[in-house]
Amino acid sequence: MPLSRLCSRLFVGGIKDAERLAADNSAGITAVISLCTEEVVPKRRDIKYVRIPIDDARPVPISQFEAVMTAIAEHIRGGRVLLHCGAGMSRSPIFAAAWMHRIGYLHIESALLEIAELRPEIDPSPVLLKSVREHLKA
């Protein structure tokens, strides 16, 4: 599944999408936020890379949740962000939806539905999603 453009500056995808940017950055991505434990290789010099490993099967600690929200906020101001996980099916859609909720664009549930229209194969982890919802309420 190729990377998906959620808005003019936010894209969601998998690690393969992040790796493909080394050869083709036609989307104009300026920052990659990785939610994987694996590092993106190869990399481009003109792209900023941030790695915040998130466990898909466990609740996310508030510190990691806030680190992802902060990274998106910092990098989306000046360019286009690719938020990715392993396959672009669970962690990255959840955190993209959380970002959309946080900025007041859509409620997290509506955001996930919108993302599912672009990426029908999404499969958000119930454990991770529950913890993200709790952090958004705090």
pLDDT tens digits along 26-72: 999 999 999 999 999 999 999 999 999 999 999 999 999 999 999 99
Compute the distance between CA of residue 106 and CA of residue 112 in angstroms, rounded to an integer.
Answer: 9
Compute the distance between CA of residue 72 and CA of residue 96 in angstroms, rounded to an integer.
Answer: 9
3-class SS at 68? helix
Is the CA virtual torsion 77, 94, 127, 34 positive or negative? negative
What are the angstrom distances between the C-alpha of 36 and each of 50, 51, 79, 113?
Answer: 10, 7, 22, 23
What are the angstrom distances between the C-alpha of 30 and each of 12, 57, 59?
Answer: 14, 29, 29
pLDDT tens digits along 75-129: 999 999 999 999 999 999 999 999 999 999 999 999 999 999 999 999 999 999 9
Domains of the chain: 4-137 (3.90.190.10)
